[in-house]
Amino acid sequence: MRTLIIIAHPELESSNLQPFFKAAVENYSDVNWHPLSTDFDIEQEQKLLLAQDRIIFEFPLYWYSAPAILKQWMDSVMTTKFVTGNRYALSGKELGLVVSTGDAESSFQAGATEKFTMSELMRPFEAFANKTRMKYLPLLTIHQFLYLNPDEQQRLLVNYQQYITNPRLDHFKDQESWFENELQNRIEATDPHAAELQQILDTIKNRQDELDDLQWNLSEMKKEEDS
């Protein structure tokens, strides 16, 4: 799966979060890190988009939307001819948003300071995905990155890696298999603890069937309780 990460950040050199994310995915050969500038070639950008399976818009929240640099790029590159008409060039590809904000998660709801949820505020992107026949992914929102402790940062890093590289984000089982692959890759990358890790991985795989059964039973029980 090929993923293009379109970074729309007018002050990229002063961002704390973006270098953290960049480092998290630099070992994935199918991931393309693509910071926007105001100067770009429309045809080249369109060609780049065509080669992807997943397209990510990654930006800090500026006035409840993306910075102008992303809109400028969208207004120019996403021509009607390119994305609709007979071609629907982006049809079937996935669109994900990675949005960072200095405000707390609890502020984004009715009655709180920001008044609307992030899903509501990102409607224009959802409408764009709808119009261009892309599959709109659940948002990945990062609230107050600088307040995260090392454990929380580590969890965020893994979530981000999954968001960028996991072909299927929506199921528990697919997350498990993504972890298995990650572990296998690390073992193959001449890890000094290879034997130990291989043993862990084998154990995980053996227990996968057991876990699947458990997961299914749990979800059924939960449904019964909820109804």
Q: How far is the CB of 71 from a second copy (least distance, A)?
A: 4
- For a second copy, which is the closer residue by CB, 25 or 122? 122
Q: How far is the CB of 86 from a second copy (least distance, A)?
A: 17
Helix (H, G, I), strand (E, B) or coil at 69: helix
Helix (H, G, I), strand (E, B) or coil at 114: coil
- For a second copy, which is the closer residue by CB, 53 or 75? 75
Q: How far is the CB of 81 from a second copy (least distance, A)?
A: 14
- Contact positions vs a second copy (CB under 8 A): 10, 62-69, 71-72, 74-75, 78, 113-116, 120-121, 123-128, 130-131
Instruction: At 116, list the tokens.
Output: 């609307």
- For a second copy, which is the closer residue by CB, 44 or 76? 76
Q: Concatenate the DSSP letters of all residues of 147-201 into one string.
A: G--HHHHHHHHHHHHHHHH-S--S-HHHHHHHHHHHHHHHHHTT-TTHHHHHHHH
Rg, the chain, Cα only:
20
User: CA-CA distance, 59 to 69, in Å (whole number)?
Assistant: 10
Q: How far is the CB of 65 from a second copy (least distance, A)?
A: 5
- For a second copy, which is the closer residue by CB, 11 or 209? 11
